[in-house]
Amino acid sequence: MANSQKTIAVAGAGIAGLTLAIALAKFGFRVVVAEKQASPSEFGAGLQISPNARRVINALGLDEDFAANSFAPEAIDIYPHKFDAPINSVQLGEFATKRYDGFSYAVAHRADLLNCLYRAAKKFANIDMHFGIEDIDATQTADSVSILLKDQRGTPFPVTARALIGADGVRSQTRIDHINGKKPKFTGYVAWRALASIDHVAKFLPTNHTSLFWGPDYHVVLYPLPHQQSVNIALFSTHKHKSITHEEELKLNPNKLSIKENSTLSPILDSLYDEFTPWPLFGITCDQWYKGNVALIGDAAHAMLPFQAQGAAMGMEDAGLLAVLLAAEPDNAKAFAQYQQLRKPRVDKVQSQSAKNGKIFHMRPPQAWARNFVVARQSPDAQLKRLDWIYSHDPFEGML
Give me the pLDDT at residue 128, please. Answer: 98
pTM of the model: 0.95
Confidence check: pLDDT of 51 > 70 = yes
Helix, strand, or coil (residue 349): helix
* Burial letters 152-170, b for 16+ CB under 10 A, else e: eeeeeeebbbbbbbbbbbb
d(CA 331, CA 241): 46
Domains of the chain, each with CATH number or no CATH: 3-71+108-184+283-357 (3.50.50.60)
Confidence check: pLDDT of 64 > 80 = yes
Helix, strand, or coil (residue 128): strand
Burial class (CB in 10 A: 0-12, 13-18, 19+), 1: exposed
Give me the pLDDT at residue 303, please. Answer: 97
Give me the pLDDT at residue 46, please. Answer: 82
Task: Give the residue from 400, 370, 278 showing the smallest Cα distance to 80.
Answer: 370
Give me the pLDDT at residue 81, please. Answer: 96
Confidence check: pLDDT of 287 > 70 = yes
Confidence check: pLDDT of 222 > 80 = yes
Confidence check: pLDDT of 129 > 60 = yes
| Average pLDDT of span 384-398 | 95
Helix, strand, or coil (residue 342): helix
Give me the pLDDT at residue 245, please. Answer: 60
Give me the pLDDT at residue 2, please. Answer: 42
Give me the pLDDT at residue 265, please. Answer: 92
The tens digit of pLDDT for each residue in 145-166 reads 999 999 989 999 999 999 999 9
Chain-centre distance for alpha carbon 345: 18
pLDDT band at 372 (very low <50, low <70, confident <90, very high): very high
Confidence check: pLDDT of 246 > 60 = no
